[in-house]
Chains A and B, each alone.
Chain A
């Protein structure tokens, strides 16, 4: 063979190897660096705030990406489970990206705004207290550490988020005021998990929760509220399972798996309000209860229709009615 001498010249061989590995590298990795499709920007997707930046670094430090993905694929069941599929521009500010490779825990790309802060404080401190089958590690120590903000201004500058050190200081002060105020909606749970000496400070857990609440929020805010045709019709209707004992029992099972972690045993209340009552903020008709469960309510009640479907939502409503009766 003519090329036989190649196998006698190590330096030439090494050069040939570099050339051969460069072809695929050039086409699939280097050229794409400069294509618009790999670096789309959208005015709707905002950079992280100072606290969210620090929270993201705690997420990275603790290796959360080893068990949680942050990319919803365009698959029907995945969109039903997590929310709308991920867009390239959503990661525009992400250095590094945190899409992950394994879902030992659920995807978090749409975690922002799904639950109130109180849910996260309680969950990070002791996940098994909320979901006994969960294998999420408890992270109680995050609330015991004051957030180190000595590098925040430099980080924001390096990342090119477009605001300066003075703005960083302002944001940190404002955030501290918000989470330490008695009027903070999650104040009670926060003080349960935060040691006395740190209740007036920003903790690492505060920052992490702020970051989690940012995930996917810009996209959600930009989109029109999900069409609720299924519920518009339901609002008028009566629960087909009203008074049906078997359905109530099935509803109890659904409740235990999906609602108990926030609304407590037998709906007695917790992160979410007491359900064993007739005094309801969003109305107590069948249709209104259906709406609350199906499409959620502001302040942390997630939409369960995509996950549970109409039938099981009605069964959950039947169980909530049952709780009302038990209460009386």
Chain B
């Protein structure tokens, strides 16, 4: 078996694992959406909202997104370096450890073992496992890059390197804690500093997991699936360095008007505004790549995923900075507007790009065409409509909620009790649940379609043979 064929089976393994955790995370999400409306669904400690929400976020960020990133990164890495993974055995072990870690993470969070720091809830033994996993990944990425046969590193590889180093730095520093038992630890930081470090991490987890590697996929798979070169290499360079530089300053925009020192908030706000430029540089690069070839939106089933995906990225990176403005933060923060914002990024940008990238790479390594273009189109429309219904509803809900919290009578007293603002949310939460169901249906179609596409081609015995054939062709 060649290294290339072995790594194809690893890519397939990561992709299918990622989709499995996607389905799990979404089922939990749907249950949560229903619990918002029917609190009686908090049937048992393991099903109570506070624990499930953490399973939902961790399952999707670490199970789905990271799994998808491992799959697509290895694929991109091999293609762009024209070199097989240097340590396929290590990657195989990483695949096993990844699934064990996510399963243990879910179980421990269900059991209430959590540090309470958002997107870093895992207790310290699992933090160590995460670090080990990341080192395994980094060794293969850097090793393959060093051994590569292609002289120049393409922009996707820059984003991949940025992902590797940034995740390592922010994850380790934020998770520093002092254990009191195997399942319980206390943060190394206290109060204001803990908040500041946590949101420096929280925001850069978004950068290094849900932005850099997704951009790596976008810059690779858009040209691959269209045959069109990226519009501007120079724009890619500017976009890359200013994005990577700017992101790390902005964490405190999650802490506007809190006891964190005001200057840190203001610096975060300024850099949040700055980030619009490099974010939109990638959007523009994507759009101009399509210049003169917009008919491919119709003729090529993958293009609309990438173009809609980058469009939501563009909207997301305008909406985010505006939310950092103090006056708007005072109005919108803590309302449903923020989950609305987050879900446009995850359900629109991240999922559009990862699912399309998986279609392309699975078809490539199984040596066949996608199982069904028609199903891919159904998948596209369901997740698009589901996501828009979900996010737009929550934006409106957030504005209503913010307005109710701020409303006063002529004598200065508050117009609404907090409970009034809860009662006003039920219709919106119902529509959100419907949006989530539509989106889930789309993902179920995707999972089936991807699975059928990923099967080794009939007539060949193993994926190795299929890959060898593809290589020979």
Contact = CB atoms under 8 A, between A and B. Distances in A.
A66 B52 CA distance: 10
B250 to A, nearest CB: 8
Given A21-B244, A28-B200, A91-B195, A96 B257 contact: no
A311 B196 contact: no
A76 B39 CA distance: 31
B180 A151 contact: yes
Given A29-B251, A97-B195, A24 B334 contact: no
Interface string A84-104: 001110111111111111111
A91 B419 contact: no
B36 interface: yes
B142 A33 contact: no
B315 to A, nearest CB: 21
A159 interface: yes
Contacts of A78: 405
Q: Which of A11, A92, A101, A306 has the most CB of B within 10 A?
A: A101
B292 interface: no
Interface in B41-87: 42, 44-45, 48-51, 53-54
A27 interface: yes
Interface in B245-297: 245-252, 254-255, 257-261, 264, 267-268, 271
A13 B153 contact: yes
A243 B247 CA distance: 63
Contacts, number: 271
Interface residues of B, number: 95
Interface string B187-220: 1111111111110100000000000000000000
Contacts of A237: none
Contacts of A71: 258-259
B51 A62 contact: yes
A103 B189 CA distance: 24
Interface in A2-60: 7-8, 10-11, 13-14, 17-18, 20-25, 27-29, 32-33, 35, 37-40, 57, 60
Interface of A: 7-8, 10-11, 13-14, 17-18, 20-25, 27-29, 32-33, 35, 37-40, 57, 60-67, 69, 71, 73-78, 80-81, 86-88, 90-106, 127-128, 131, 133-139, 141, 151, 154-155, 158-159, 257-258, 305-312
Given A22-B248, A60-B115, 7 more contacts: A8-B151, A10-B145, A38-B191, A65-B50, A88-B259, A90-B191, A91-B195
Please name the 8 residue pairs, one residue from A and one from B, whose CB atoms are nearest each other, closest first.
A309-B413, A63-B50, A91-B191, A24-B248, A137-B42, A24-B249, A10-B145, A88-B259
Interface of B: 35-37, 39-40, 42, 44-45, 48-51, 53-54, 112-118, 142, 145-146, 148, 151-153, 157-158, 161-162, 164-166, 169, 178, 180-181, 184, 186-198, 200, 241, 244-252, 254-255, 257-261, 264, 267-268, 271, 330, 334-335, 338-339, 405-409, 411-414, 417-420, 422-423
